[in-house]
Amino acid sequence: MASLVGSRVERKEDKKLLTGRGKYTADVTFAHQTYAYFIRSPHARAEIKKVDFSKAIKAPGVVSVLTGKDIVDDKIGGLIAGWRIKSEDGSDMKVPPHPPLASETVNYVGDHVAVVIAESLDEARNAADLVKVDYKVLKAVVDTSDAMKSDQIYKDIPKNLCFDWLLGDRAKVKEAFDKADKVIKIDLINNRLVPNAMEPRAANADYNPSTEEITLYTTSQNPHLARIIISAFNGVAPENKLRVIAPDVGGGFGSKIYPYAEEVVCSWAAKKNRKTSKMGCG
Amino acid sequence: MGQFMIKVGLEVNGKKIQKEVPEHTLLSTFLREHLNLTGTHVGCDTSQCGACVVHVDGKSIKSCTALAADLNGSKVKTIEGLVKNGKMHPMQEAFKKLHGLQCGFCTPGMVMSAIDLLEHNSNPSDKEIRDWLEGNICRCTGYQNIVAAVKEAATKM
């Protein structure tokens, strides 16, 4: 047997990926496929006054229009922060609410307000144009350095402070600085990180009414985590009624570790409509 | 909002196809949704990433910004049309041999684009390869092995 050290190892997946026979999430299509199109906030921060979808629901091909109210009524849990940090004073990190579809406020451009499910993507997109959302635009906080002095965004989070993290020994550091010949103060500006995989995020959920099982295809680096979160935290279905499949994944770079609003909404909408719902590129 | 349907006739990977589709159907949608040729990928939908590159009448184009109806009567070749008698194209072999791919999402567009380059410039320099592939973005490989694969394929084509 040739030595493994120094010898070429050919990848098993290359042939299918090179010949167009890979299967990424957007390549999965079910019989009776329906398509999800999200209505997103054009504002960085606003109060939702009213969502009027009376015209959209009557548009050709539309199966349903779901809003934040349905999320509240169905007791679908919010998106979680996957890391728990304690502040220097020992208090727990404060986690702001992040419902999969907003019902009270939107807090970034692109925040999800409603979803249109239709027989085709064109029909979903056309009907989405007919959904009218009235916003009361609020002043946004866009700079971390000013955030603590700015308007309070969430009522339970004073000074907009989620946590105040300390690593190291404050007393010893002070002692070292006090003894130093010269102390230089600088502001460190961290550049923005964008994982930006080539394959955009995508999800496709199939509901089988006879077994009451949801099968979610999603472009994920961590389908096991998605299954636990969508069942235990979002409460879409018990874990034994939710199967999560990550087929070929077109890069993730960390951005595809956690489930997002779309995966939760597509799984929930599939079950609610007793059909499938697909969100994705193209 | 009625949809206007239009007849589109194309030769795709050597097969004559005739379909009636909404008139605004993009070539990428025509291939992926109407012909189930999902090897052509849509990464950005705005002609920037190059994952959707196919050949139309022998030239590489971005299929996400071409209307299928505009190309009526054309010959289209996609990534699925490269394998002959079970054998991969030299470009595909070179990408495999030299690790010119990782996640594979950009790969179909990258391969189709690179083949077009070699078909009109059989022995390109590193710079010519990099300039040509400017419209194909890969996030995994760092491009070194892609350039090496194109050079390797140039010796086989």
Query: Domain segments of chain B: what residues?
Result: 5-81, 90-156
Closest A-chain CA to B49 = A198
Q: What's the Cα-to-Cα distance from A278 to each of A201, A206, A211, A269, rounded to whole Å?
A: 11, 9, 20, 10
Comparing CA positions, the residue from A192, A191, A201 lying closest to residue A255 is A201
The 10s digit of each residue's pLDDT in B97-123 is: 999 999 999 999 999 999 999 999 999
Element containing residue A224 per DSSP (H, E): helix A223-228
Task: Specify which residues A86 forms β-bridges with.
Answer: A92
From first to last of its 282 residues, chain A has per-residue pLDDT tens of 667 888 888 899 999 999 999 999 999 999 889 999 999 999 999 999 999 999 999 999 999 999 999 999 999 999 998 888 999 999 999 999 999 999 999 999 999 999 999 999 999 999 999 999 999 999 999 988 899 999 999 999 999 999 999 999 999 999 999 999 999 999 988 888 888 899 999 999 999 999 999 999 999 999 999 999 999 999 999 999 999 999 999 999 999 999 999 999 999 999 998 877 777 543
Chain B positions in Cβ-Cβ contact with residue A282 (cut-off 8 Å): 28-29, 32, 42, 45, 64
DSSP 3-state of A62: strand
pLDDT band at B42 (very low <50, low <70, confident <90, very high): very high
Chain B positions in Cβ-Cβ contact with residue A221 (cut-off 8 Å): none
Residue A2: the pLDDT is 67
Residue A191: the pLDDT is 87
Chain B positions in Cβ-Cβ contact with residue A198 (cut-off 8 Å): 41, 43, 49, 51, 103, 105-106, 137-140
Residue B1: the pLDDT is 46
Substitution target from A21, A130, A198 for chain B, most B beta carbons within 10 A: A198
Name the residue among B3, B83, B99 with its Cβ closest to that of A19. Answer: B83
- Chain-chain contact of B83 with A197 (C-beta, under 8 angstroms): no
Assess whether pLDDT exceeds 70 at residue B43. Answer: yes
Closest B-chain CA to A8 = B97
- Chain-chain contact of A282 with B64 (C-beta, under 8 angstroms): yes
φ/ψ region of B110 (left if φ > 0, alpha if ψ in -120 to 50, else beta) reads alpha
Chain A positions in Cβ-Cβ contact with residue B1 (cut-off 8 Å): 59-60, 126
Size of interface A-B (CB pairs under 8 A): 101
pLDDT band at B55 (very low <50, low <70, confident <90, very high): very high
CATH of domain B5-81: 3.10.20.30
- Chain-chain contact of A126 with B1 (C-beta, under 8 angstroms): yes
pLDDT band at B138 (very low <50, low <70, confident <90, very high): very high
Judge whether A255 and A197 are in contact, CB under 8 Å: yes
- Chain-chain contact of A197 with B80 (C-beta, under 8 angstroms): no
Query: Could you tell me if A196 lies within 8 Å of chain B, comparing CB atoms?
Result: yes
Nearest Cα of chain B lies from the Cα of A246 at a distance, in angstroms, of: 13
User: DSSP string spanning chain B?
Assistant: -PPPEEEEEEEETTEEEEEEEETT-BHHHIIIIIS--TTS--SSSSSSS-TTEEEETTEEEEGGGSBGGGGTT-EEE-GGG--BTTB--HHHHHHHHTT--SS-SSHHHHHHHHHHHHHH-SS--HHHHHHHGGG---SSS-SHHHHHHHHHHHHH-
Chain B positions in Cβ-Cβ contact with residue A10 (cut-off 8 Å): 96
Q: Round the average pLDDT of chain B to a whole number and report it.
A: 96
DSSP 3-state of A25: helix
With respect to CATH, is domain A14-188+196-279 assigned 3.30.70.3000?
no
Q: Among 1.10.260.40, 3.60.150.10, 3.50.50.60, 1.10.150.120, name the CATH number for the domain at B90-156.
A: 1.10.150.120
Chain A positions in Cβ-Cβ contact with residue B38 (cut-off 8 Å): 20, 23-24, 26-27
Mean pLDDT of B62-71: 97
Assess whether pLDDT exceeds 60 at residue B4. Answer: yes
Residue B2: the pLDDT is 57
Residue A281: the pLDDT is 42
